Chain A
Amino acid sequence: MMYNSRNIIIGLIIFVGIFTFPFVLGAGKANEAPKLSLDTPKINELIKKEPIETVEFMRNNHMQLLSDWKVAVVRDGNRVYVSQKDGQEYDMSLQNTCLDCHSNKEQFCDACHTYAEVEPNCWDCHVAPEVIR
């Protein structure tokens, strides 16, 4: 037999409610990670559609890469990036290198950033590609 069973049951209902509400909101919903669009004029022209490093590396480390580029360019004045993948040289520039091919910010950058609720501060200084067009 429980004492104060009314209060105990109310408390337990609140407990279960708090810890299962992500299931209530999420249950049965379709789960699809965003597919990145590579459909831009520049990429369509390329024969070998590969980023400057491996796709896996870019997925995990693009933010670190951009951060390193910022430090290299702004502090050290070094604008040349040598790819670890094939030794090819690239100009360290968000607007002139990355966005040159990935000109579809909304379908490329924003797709994942919105999904994962990330707001990088790139566009505080850089001009988003839409504005150029």
Chain B
Amino acid sequence: MGLNFSLLIVAALILAVFLGVEALGLSFLFGVIIPYLALATFIIGFILKVVKWAKAPVPFRITTTSGQQKSLPWIKDNKIDNPATTSWTMVRMALEVLFFRSLFKNTKAEMVDGKKLTYQWEKWLWLAGLVFHWSFLIVVVRHLRLFLEPVPAFVTLIGKVDGFFMVDLQNFYITGVLLLAAVTFLFIRRVLIPQVRYISLAADYFPLFVLMGIATTGILMKYFYRVDVVSIKELTVGLFSFNPVIPEGVSVLFYIHLFLVCTLISYLPFSKLMHMGGIFLSPTRNMPNNSRAERHINPWNYPVKVHTYAEYEDEFRDKMRAAGLPLDRDGAEDEAAATKE
């Protein structure tokens, strides 16, 4: 259900651009207006989401701990897996963001012969996830060669390393193909594993199809249906210099590619893809585990009206004394002090 629905939506989006550009000539809409709107939606939506999250109080230290806590000096603590300071928390966060460390520890439970429960280290999801994210990052950075004139040196360098292998006369970018392969793996995994398929919704399939569409159109333009790169660069440089132009001879394949990218970024703040910002705001990962060393006060605590024992004794001192109950302060000094004056 979710799968067919998502596929249908992505197909409809592609068809909409195709008809819009080819039949109605709406290249200014798809080439300039929608990209600007999508980028604005992405940035503003992202900020509003983060602000909304930041307004939610986190009353307790709910750090995930998978190592020895810092306690007595002669007990060796695990600084990364149970960080007690902000700097070690940042180290753990960096490893999480850059290498998906918690996913690396992923295990799979399986019944062997129908009666023996075994746990296996499940690394393929981690590997495909890592390949996908890093490839995507490099692909995005590489695209700066089409956004900026002159091209910054680091973009040229990354393009050269990524395009180390040559096919025919041109660079063959490894990350482009790895990106598509990894997304395809993640999709196949979702469909083939029954338990994963059971919990998959349209919101899980849709981003995968959009990413597949982006990667496929990109690869098609680069290696199969040649497009006029110079006029495409004129269009993109125009967008980034706020002098938008629609040059002649831009292929419809480019508009499809661009529109799917716009779909992805404008959808991002409202979807699970928001883990891009959310990872940094995970309370189980971004707090140092120092609740034994420092007192943390629940931020939504309101002033509670209390009646301390001292106040209670002041109130009932005479009665308590008459009943022969022990008193912390018997009040005699107070009376003596009062008579002295």
Contact = CB atoms under 8 A, between A and B. Distances in A.
B36 to A, nearest CB: 11
Interface string A1-41: 11111001001100110011011011111111110000000
Given A15-B277, A67-B168, A116-B145, A3 B58 contact: yes
B230 A116 contact: yes
Contacts of B170: 63, 118, 120-121
Given A3-B299, A63-B170, A121-B166, A8 B233 contact: no
Interface in B53-80: 54-58
B54 A4 contact: yes
Contacts of A85: none
Contacts of A133: none
Interface residues of A, number: 42
Contacts of B55: 1-3
A11 B147 contact: no
Contacts of B43: 15-16, 19-20
A60 B231 CA distance: 10
A108 B108 CA distance: 59
A120 to B, nearest CB: 5
B242 interface: yes
A50 interface: no
Contact of A59 (B155, B169, B228, B234): B228
Contacts of A60: 226-228, 249, 251
B270 interface: no
B159 A117 contact: yes
Max count, chain B CB within 10 A of own CB: residue among A12, A22, A120: A22
Contact of A31 (B46, B156, B241): B241
B54 A8 contact: yes
Interface string B229-248: 11101100110111101010
A122 interface: yes
A33 B247 CA distance: 9
- Which 7 residue pairs are nearest across A and B when measured between Cβ atoms? A26-B240, A117-B145, A33-B234, A2-B54, A67-B168, A26-B241, A8-B54
Interface of B: 39, 42-43, 46-47, 50-51, 54-58, 144-149, 151-152, 155-156, 159, 166, 168-171, 226-231, 233-234, 237-238, 240-243, 245, 247, 249, 251, 277, 280, 299
17 contacts: A2-B54, A3-B55, A3-B299, A4-B54, A19-B43, A25-B152, A26-B237, A27-B241, A29-B241, A33-B234, A59-B230, A59-B249, A63-B170, A63-B226, A115-B230, A120-B169, A121-B170
